Amino acid sequence: MAASQSVRDESPPSQHDSLNVSSVEPLATRLDRCARGTHRMHVLGYVRHGSVAGVDCSRPLRWVCRDCGDFDIRPCKNHRSSKCKPCALRYRSKVRRVALSGINRQTGHQYFLTATAPSDPHCMRPGCSRHPGECGHAACPCGVEGFDLARWNAAHSSMWNRFRTALRRLYPDLEFMRGVEVQEGDHRSDRAGRGALHDHAMMWASVPIPPATVKALLVAAGFGHSFDLPEVAPGSKRAAYYVAKYVTKAADSRAEVPWWGEVVDYETGEVSEGLVDGRYRTWSMSRGWGLTMAAVEEQCRVYARARAAEALWLGMGDAARSLGASWELSDPPIGSPPSP
């Protein structure tokens, strides 16, 4: 039961109170509403014995109606592969669908931006490992004295907002979808990941975006000078698949990311600051990019209802299907599949 406290109740807020409509409406009215198929469901908790036949989920949830006691078993919809791999894979597919919905513009210019975190002070000359004050070379503007990665990660979202706001002032029709990657060291020479947040953004603009402009805005917003901005062909799916892959990986890496935030002592009520689990968003997009997650989920529900109606139609038997042949002369019945 304790595990169910972390699950959001999908009922309207006005129904959370014990002294709500359930204690005012007569029992017959509530049961009649349930008989018509309108249930007020809330989460009771995780299924004790794990997976359930017919539900593709490792940690399914038990939902119970507040009025009639009817229950249902539903997937947990967790985004973390370590918690539930089937639900995480479905979430990745939905994010990929959102990403793919905005890459088919045949006009303008599309880019795939990679923005990185800064580091300790260093000079701008490639290959020089000495401190800028000792080698005599110009210091890189992205170097930060006493760089604290935990505090930088906590301010990462604000830095991204400053960057995309400044870029949109120059290119008002800019559209983007951004995914977050946690640096694991796979692409570093020392193979050591420091847990810094990187951004991978698919961007579109009606006019070309000079890389020098992007670099200046990134450094001014607080990012590192190391970035990449290749132009991609319209309809290229590689960037969309790349972003979707790292979205689910980032959702499973929050405990490994250095993050500075407020810590509450529930015994004394004291609020202090220290290292906590990461609280970042794994992806975001502009309103004009393409499909929203709500639209993708609605498409999934429509598809599921169509599949259920088709399965019901195929399972009716020969007698019912022969009777259905006469329905072709009139309006088709509700739930029947369309004519081929």
The answer to which of 51-55, 190-194, 219-223, 329-333 has the lowest mean pLDDT is: 329-333
Asked if 93 and 100 touch (Cβ cutoff 8 Å), the reply is: no
The pLDDT tens digits for 108-119 are 999 999 999 887
In this prediction, residues 92-96 reach a mean pLDDT of 94
What domains are defined for the chain? 2-74 (no CATH), 85-287 (3.30.70.1910), 292-340 (no CATH)
Residue 6's pLDDT band, with cuts at 50, 70 and 90, is very low
Predicted model pTM: 0.74
Q: What average pLDDT score do residues 85-98 get?
A: 93
218 pLDDT higher than 50: yes
Q: Please tell me the distance from the alpha carbon of residue 331 to that of residue 23, in angstroms, as a whole number.
A: 44
Q: What percent of the chain has pLDDT over 90?
A: 37
Q: Residue ranges of the alpha helices (H) in the chain? A: 21-24, 27-35, 85-100, 132-135, 149-154, 156-170, 211-221, 238-251, 293-314, 318-327
For 92, other C-beta atoms within 10 Å of its C-beta total 20
**For 38-90, what is each residue's pLDDT tens digit?**
788 888 888 877 777 778 898 899 888 888 888 888 899 899 988 999 999 99
pLDDT of residue 86: 92
Quick one: DSSP state of residue 336?
A: P
Nearest to 133 by CA among 143, 144, 122: 122
Q: What are phi and psi of 182, to 5 degrees?
A: -95, 125
Residue 224 CA to residue 203 CA, distance in Å, equals 19
3-state class (DSSP) for residue 8: coil
What pLDDT sits at residue 333?
42
In this structure, which amino acid lies at residue 157? Answer: S
Longest dimension (CA), the chain: 91
Beta-carbon contacts of 326 under 8 Å, excluding residues fewer than 6 positions away, are none
Q: Tell which phi-psi region holds residue 137, choosing left (phi > 0), alpha (psi between -120 and 50) or beta.
A: beta
What is the residue-averaged pLDDT of the chain? 79
Contacts of 55 (CB under 8 A, 6+ apart): 73, 74, 75
Distance CA 259, CA 151 (A): 6
- Residue with the larger pLDDT of the pair 54 and 157: 157
131: confidence class by pLDDT, cuts 50, 70, 90: low
C-alpha angle 283/288/294, rounded to 5°? 60
